[in-house]
Amino acid sequence: MPKSVILCVDDEVVILDSLKMQLKREFGDNYFYEMAESADEALEILDELSEDEVNILLLVSDWLMPGMRGDEFLVLVHQKFPKTIKIMLTGQADSEAIERAVNEANLFRCLCKPWDGKELLKTIRLGLELAKNNG
């Protein structure tokens, strides 16, 4: 069975590097890790993975990004990939945006930046379990 993907989206490369390091340290080679610096890039990656029939288990997205806010992005993702678990990681999202992501994108969790590594990994682990059970 091919590996599944965890996709992280943030306009700050240092954030993506940190996330990838934490994920690899925690989950090793059990998953593929894709990184995108914008919602548009992430949508392209999602389409490519879908065409290749790769399972996108979980998505971690920033909220404040150039071009498209995280709640808008997650709603688009949910419309195409409703089973993908969605986590928002942000320091700036307003309560309306979070509520919209919960209601329209089935947001699993919203965590604040700077994040606590243990809380993030626990949240991702719970999300992965949910994704596998919903698969």
Q: Would you call the peptide bond into 114 cis, given omega within 30 degrees of 0 as the criterion?
A: yes
Fold for the domain defined by 4-130: Rossmann fold (3.40.50)
**pTM listed for this prediction:** 0.95
pLDDT > 70 fraction of the chain, expressed in percent and rounded? 98
Query: Can you tell me the distance from the alpha carbon of 73 to that of 69, in angstroms, rounded to the nearest whole number?
Result: 6
Domain ranges of the chain: 4-130
pLDDT > 90 fraction of the chain, expressed in percent and rounded? 90
Q: What angle do CA 129, 77, 6 make, to 5 degrees?
A: 40
Give per-residue pLDDT as tens, 41-95. Answer: 999 999 999 999 999 999 999 999 999 999 999 999 999 999 999 999 988 878 9
**30 CB neighbour count, 10 Å cutoff:** 12
CA-closest candidate to residue 6, choices 41, 66, 46, 53: 46
